[in-house]
Structure 1
Amino acid sequence: MNRKYFISSLVTSAIVFPSLKSRADFPVEEEISKIKIPPYLKPGDTIAITSPAGSISLSGIQPAVQLMESWGYKITIGSTIGKKDFTYGGTDKERLDDLQQQLDNPAIQAIMCARGGYGIVRIIDQLDFTEFIKHPKWLIGFSDVTVLHCHINQNFGIATLHAKMCNSFPDDWTKAEPIQISTILSIRQALAGEDFKYTAPTTQSNRLGKAEGVLVGGNLSIIASNSGTKSDLDTAGKILFLEDTGEYLYNIDRMFWNLKRTGKLAHLAGLIIGGFSAKPDDPGEIFGKTTEEIVMEKVKEYDYPVCFNFPSGHQRANFALKCGTQHLLEVGKEGSILRSL
């Protein structure tokens, strides 16, 4: 197991941090008071599973069902599980109706998206969040689910859970790697309301500092494509988390220019860069910059802390993060720490 990524108190005593970045320009207390945290789960509560993006079979979710039942939760399976409409988990209407039913059902305490892929943007503007606002519940997932995180965090101020989904649970828990076990158990810990502290190794590209703010973000491609929509994030005074996979470096550069040009990088409290696995450049089309260089070029004029190689994203080291809630980020000479507040 790579202990650098485990939820622990590693490197805490050894790190020396600059003073806390001032956030006098942002109404922090007012912002925190508006945060709505869904009730944390207790044994006997119900988690619903739906597939609002890509398709997945009933057998494909069974490892997740069995493990979450062993945690003491009841599991209800949505009508989209097992359905397939080309790449989607059912038609737009089927996926919309399934997710809507789970958002409206007061007997459900959390909704786990079965997998990512593509498709939530096709239904997001047709969803009715009236009952969800009255009775908030945890919405779990990452990748394409970033559409829901951004929309819910921005419009309703309700916390959501950026975390692994059913297709990331190992078929055989007894043979799972320690990092898989740790990251999946972090879902249980987050749903139970336990505080967390995640660590990341130091890198030469990190910019040292300490910042407090509401954590928002997720998949870079989704956040960039949300620009100008009802799901567009206001990042001022917040800690922004970003991750992505399977993109060419030139496209990563283009998306970071989008964030810069739309002002999303200008007034951050801090920036966290999670897993980024870029496609190799095409022959004769060498881009010439690394992901770290792309990022630092866009934020060089700002002074907030920047953390690279954070253990979250499209990778096995993908710990659960509570989007829309207050966090403390500390980027020091020996590594970085993110803790919930």
Structure 2
Amino acid sequence: MSVCFRSLVLLLSTVVCVINTTCVAASVVFQQQAQQVVVGFLQTVEETYPEELTFSHNIYELFTGLGAKVIRLDYNKVLDFELIRQSALEEAHGDISKIHDLEARMIKEGILSFLKENEIDRVFIPGNYYNVDAEPYAPTPNRQLVTAAIAEIVHENPAIKLMGVCGGLQGVMHAMGIKVIRVYKLLGSHESAAVHAVSMPDPHHKDVVLHRLRIVPGSRLASIVSKHVEPDTNGWYSLFFPDAHGGVVSNDPKNVKKLEDLGYKIVGFSDDGIIEAVEDVHGNILFQDHPEALAINMLRGHVYPATDSTDATSSLQDLRYKAALSAISIIEDFLYRH
């Protein structure tokens, strides 16, 4: 089934939701796709960060609603980390400088084996209330170790697709040696950084405040969203997504060059120059904001087209609706791109 047809079915389902005020998240058409796509979802059974399980449930609902099979990639239980550390220590023969690389290799081998055994061909890394560069919610060691393994595996295996949002983007960039810093340090003040937390505390809320993402012309991301929004006179596309983050990829020239040397392209910015979206050499897209949030709310019937194009409120509603359609297309691209 084509992406366009799935989008049409989704749109029709959404309209039915609005009219009848009830909605079944997964249509029969989507359920027929369930065995074709297997997503490895980086999460954990026991909550590590505030609201982690709630956000995970929302995303699980989104993927299954779009026909995917979801397998938990539990970053605390997927591997025996203590055994790996002991094995690395033994293999190092007392050379402490070797332990980190040995552990990383063993974790990577274990994660790759897990992906193959479960026939996982795409991985989703969500964000949450944690940082890779500062307190108070630094990631647990296991989560970042698994993220680093996934980042390398995907970089080396174009058949395995990847999508990351918010802290997922930051975790992958950090794993690849790209500098991640606090937003306020980049912008110069906490006041300036506040615009990047407009969707706090819950970016998945149906009425969440949105933030503008400006998409680079000619990028894969631009081609995906061009079905739903028009470019400006310079070819740039604008979408409004939930934005809720305190960390960000540094945009200093040396960091950007390192990023580009690894095959990444910056494909989305905020109005103040913050890096908001990155594509890798295989076409995978990582987001600093939360497109999945609008997709979740569209499936739930909370987003619908404006009825009066002359009304100011309707104009904002139309922007949200077009962004939600684009978000669905982004998620479908992740799920069904070959």
Instruction: State TM-score, norm by structure 2.
Output: 0.34
Q: Which has the higher contact order (CA 8 A, sep 6+)?
A: 1
Q: TM-score, normalised by structure 1?
A: 0.33
Instruction: Select the structure that is richer in helix.
Output: 2
Hey, which of these two has a bigger chunk of strand by percent? Answer: 1
